[in-house]
Amino acid sequence: MDQQANPNYALAELDKQTMLHPVTSIAALEADGPQMFGKASGVRIAGPLGHDVIDFGAGLWCVNVGYGRQELADAAASAMRDLSYYHLFGGASNEPAVRLADEILTLFHEQAGAGHLSKVFFGTSGSDANDTAYKLVRYYNNLRGKPEKKKFLARAGAYHGLTYAAGGLTGIPAYHKAFDLPQEGVHHLTCPHHFRFADAGETEDNFCDRLIAELERTIEHEGAETIAAMIAEPIMGTGGVLIPPRRYLERVQALLRKNDILFIADEVITGFGRLGSWFGTGHYGLRPDIVTLAKGVTSAYFPLSATVISEDIFETLRDASAEHGPVMHGFTYSGHPVGCSVALENLALMKRENIVANAAEMGDHLLRRLREKAGDHPFVGDIRGEGLMAAVEFVADKAERRFFRLPQGAHRVVARHCLQQGVAMRPLPFIEVVSFSPPLSINPAEIDEGVDAFVRGLEAATPELV
Ligand code: PLP
C-alpha cells in the first residue's frame, strides 16, 4: 500500500515528531516508524500490519484477565464518580485503598502461607515499588541503629524496573549504558540460568552449589554488617524466563537469614496468578521480608503497585515513630481510589472465573504444544515454563550448545516474522529468548492458534538465521 494512503501514516509521523519512547532506538524509530496497535478484546489486539494478532505477551506480562473487560471499565467509571481522587498523606484514607490492602494481605496469608506479611504501601509502578523497598530497607536499618548496612545484592539478568534505584538493581547492562548505573553499593551475582551459564558438564545441582558458594563468598568479602538486602524475582522474567535451579531460592534465603540480610521478592510479574499460583512466594515456599507487586494487580487497566512489608520491619518503624517522626515517603497517587477499585474488581473477577487455576492448566497445555510443535527445530535450544510464563531459547548449534551472535538477535528476527503470522511475541533483551506470557484467561484453542502462528514465524525466520 502507498505509505501515505495508510490511515496510520499521519499518526505515525506525529508520533515521531512528538514522543520519546521508552526502551526504543530513536534511529530505528526514525527509519521504520512506530508500530501502531489498536483495539483489543480478550487475547486479541489489532496489530500494526492490518490484522488482529494474539497477544502472547499480555502487553508487558500484565493484562492477566485479557483485554476489554466491561467489569473493570464499570468499576473505574463508578469509582471516578464516587471519589475521583484523594491521597493517603498525613493519615488520610479511602475505602477502596483499605479494602485492597486487606485483600492483598488476605491473599498472601491464605494462598501463599505468608502470614508474616503485615502492611501494604501503594505506588503506581513496579519500578517505584522497588524504589520504595530500596528506601524502606535503608530507613529500617538506620532506625534500628545499623547505618552501615546499606549494600544491595541482585543478580545478572534481573529486571527490577528503570527508576534510578530500581534501574541499578536491574542486572542487564543494556539498561545501564550511559545512565551511570548501577549506583554504588549494588552487587550483581551470577545469573542463575543453568542452560546458558553452567560450565560444560556442570549439573544443575553443581551449578546451584557454585551460585550458593559465590553468595557465601560475597557476604564474607563485603561483610554481612554492610549488606542490607538481596532482591530476586522468583522466576526472572525479562532476563529470559529463568527458572531457578532446584533448591536455589531456599538456600539463598537460608544464607540471608543467617546473616541478617533482608530478602525482597520482586513479584511484579509472578504476583497475581502468572505461575498458576497466586504468588511466587507460595509457589516456591518463600518467606520474603518484602514483596513488590504491580502489573497483574489491576491487569494493567490502571497503574498501581504495592510494596508489602513484614510485621518485623513494621514493628521497627512503629517503635521508632514517636521519636523519629512521620515516614516521609509517598506519592500523589499512592492508594488512588480509582486504581484500588479497579484492582478489587480485577481480583474478584479472577476468583469468580478461576483464572489462577486456568493459568496452571493452560501453562501445561502451552508447554506441551510448544514441545510438540517446536521441540525438534534445530535452533530451538530450550523450551521452559511455569504456569503461563514460558520461553523458547534459541541456539545456533544444539549439540555444541553454541549461541547466536547475530547483531540483530535471532529472537528478534523470529518475533518480527511471528507478528506477520498473527502472534505478538516479546524478544527479550538479555539472551536470545522469546517469552510467552499470554493473558491468564486464554483458552486451549487460542493457545493452539498462537503456537501455530509462532511455528510459522519460526519457519519463515529460519533462512535468515542460517
Ligand atoms: N520488576 C519486574 C520483575 C518487572 O518485570 C518489571 C517490569 O517489567 C518491573 C519490576 C518494573 O515495573 P514498571 O515497568 O511498572 O516500573
CB-hemisphere CA count at 13 Å for 359?
33
pTM for this prediction: 0.97
Q: Would you place residue 189 in the very low, low, confident or very high pLDDT band (cuts 50, 70, 90)?
A: very high
Note the pLDDT of residue 34. 96
Are the CB atoms for 394 and 432 separated by under 8 Å? Answer: yes
- Cβ–ligand 1 distance for 320 under 6 Å, the answer no
Q: Would you place residue 206 in the very low, low, confident or very high pLDDT band (cuts 50, 70, 90)?
A: very high
CA of 161 to the centre of ligand 1 (A): 5
Cell digits for 229?
Answer: 538486602
DSSP secondary structure string for all residues of 298-364 = TTTSS--EEEEEEHHHHHHHHHHHHHH-------TTTT-HHHHHHHHHHHHHHHHTTHHHHHHHHHH
- Cβ–ligand 1 distance for 233 under 6 Å, the answer yes
Average pLDDT over residues 6-27: 92
CB-hemisphere CA count at 13 Å for 40?
23
In this predicted complex, what is the ipTM?
0.99
In ligand 1, which atom is closest to the CA atom of 158?
3
Note the pLDDT of residue 400. 86
> Distance (Å, rounded) from C-alpha 229 to C-alpha 256?
8
> CA nearest 341: which of 100, 65, 92?
100
CA of 177 to the centre of ligand 1 (A): 18
Q: Would you place residue 441 in the very low, low, confident or very high pLDDT band (cuts 50, 70, 90)?
A: very high
- Burial class of 116 by CB neighbour count within 10 A (0 to 12, 13 to 18, 19+): middle
pLDDT tens-digit readout, 143-165: 999 999 999 999 999 999 999 99
- Rg for the chain, CA atoms, rounded: 22
- Tell me what the pLDDT averaged over the chain comes to: 96
- Burial class of 177 by CB neighbour count within 10 A (0 to 12, 13 to 18, 19+): exposed
> Distance (Å, rounded) from C-alpha 300 to C-alpha 296?
6
Note the pLDDT of residue 257. 98
Identify the H or E element spanning 186: strand 186-189
DSSP secondary structure string for all residues of 217-283 = HHHHHH-GGGEEEEEE-SSBTTTT-BPPPTTHHHHHHHHHHHTT-EEEEE-TTTTTTTTSSS-HHHH
Note the pLDDT of residue 466. 84
| Secondary structure of residue 177 in the 3-state scheme | coil
Give the phi and the psi of residue 72 in degrees, each rounded to 5.
-75, -35
Identify the H or E element spanning 389: strand 389-394
> Distance (Å, rounded) from C-alpha 168 to C-alpha 187?
9
The 10 Å Cβ neighbour count of residue 58 is 29
- Burial class of 145 by CB neighbour count within 10 A (0 to 12, 13 to 18, 19+): exposed
Structure-derived torsion over alpha carbons of residues 46, 47, 53, 57, reported in degrees to the nearest 10: -110
Between the alpha carbon of residue 339 and those of residues 61, 71, 110, the distances in Å are: 18, 14, 23
CA of 465 to the centre of ligand 1 (A): 31
- Cβ–ligand 1 distance for 298 under 6 Å, the answer no
Average pLDDT over residues 235-247: 98
Note the pLDDT of residue 399. 87
Q: Tell me the β-bridge partners of 44.
A: 41, 54
Percent of the chain, pLDDT > 70? 98
CA of 200 to the centre of ligand 1 (A): 33
In ligand 1, which atom is closest to the CA atom of 125?
15
Note the pLDDT of residue 337. 98
Q: Quote the Cα angle for 116-119-125, to 5°.
A: 120
Give the phi and the psi of residue 89 in degrees, each rounded to 5.
-65, 150
> Distance (Å, rounded) from C-alpha 95 to C-alpha 85?
12
> Which of 122, 127, 170 to mutate for ligand 1's pocket (most ligand atoms within 8 Å of CB)?
127
Average pLDDT over residues 224-230: 98
Note the pLDDT of residue 392. 98
Structure-derived torsion over alpha carbons of residues 177, 182, 187, 188, reported in degrees to the nearest 10: -30
- Cβ–ligand 1 distance for 238 under 6 Å, the answer yes
Note the pLDDT of residue 401. 84
Q: In the predicted model, is pLDDT for residue 125 greater than 70?
A: yes
Give the phi and the psi of residue 342 in degrees, each rounded to 5.
-65, -45
Q: Would you place residue 5 in the very low, low, confident or very high pLDDT band (cuts 50, 70, 90)?
A: low
pLDDT tens-digit readout, 33-85: 999 999 999 999 999 999 999 999 999 999 999 999 999 999 999 999 999 99
CA of 128 to the centre of ligand 1 (A): 9
Q: Would you place residue 230 in the very low, low, confident or very high pLDDT band (cuts 50, 70, 90)?
A: very high
Are the CB atoms for 263 and 253 separated by under 8 Å? Answer: yes
